[in-house]
Amino acid sequence: MNEVARSSKHVASLRAAVATTVKTENRPVSLVPVAAVPEIPDYLQDTYYWAYINPRNVKLLDREIVVRTILWQQHRRLQRTAFVEIEPRKRVLQSACVYGSFSANLSEHLGPDGTLDVFDVAEIQVVNTRRKLAAYPNATVHWGNVLHMDLDPFDAVCCYFLLHELPDVHKREAVNLFLDKLVPGGKAIFVDYHKPRWWHPLKPITSFVFDTLEPYAKGLWRSEIRELADRPEQYTWRKETLFGGLFQKVVATRID
Beta bridge partners of 140: 117
The 10s digit of each residue's pLDDT in 34-61 is 347 899 999 999 999 999 999 999 999 9
* Helix or strand (DSSP H, E) at 58: helix 55-61
Between CA 224 and CA 214 the distance in angstroms is 18
- Homologous superfamily, domain 3-254: Vaccinia Virus protein VP39 (3.40.50.150)
Averaged pLDDT of the chain = 90
pLDDT at 22 over 70: no
The amino acid occupying position 240 is: E
Provide the pLDDT for residue 33. 41
131 and 58 Cβ atoms separated by less than 8 Å:
no
- C-alpha span between 187 and 255 (Å, rounded): 10
Greater confidence (156 vs 6) lies with 156
Is 247 in contact with 194 (CB distance < 8 Å)?
yes
Answer yes or no: are the C-beta atoms of 232 and 179 closer than 8 Å. Answer: no
pLDDT of 191 above 70: yes
CA dist., res. 244 & res. 198, Å (int): 9
The average pLDDT across 169-181 equals 97
Report helix, strand or coil for 14: helix
Polymer length of the chain = 256
User: In angstroms, rounded to a whole number, what is the distance separating the alpha carbons of residues 123 and 32?
Assistant: 10
pTM of the entire predicted model: 0.87
Let me know: does 181 contact 158? Beta carbons within 8 Å.
no
Q: State the pLDDT at residue 19.
A: 43
**How far is the C-alpha of 37 from the C-alpha of 169, rounded, in Å?**
23
Among residues 248, 230, 240, the alpha carbon closest in space to that of 175 is found at 230
Task: Give the tens place of pLDDT for each residue, 79-103.
Answer: 999 999 999 999 999 999 999 999 9
**In whole angstroms, what separates CA 192 from the centre of its chain?**
10
Is residue 191 within 8 A of residue 127, CB to CB? The reply is no
* pLDDT surpasses 80 at 108: yes
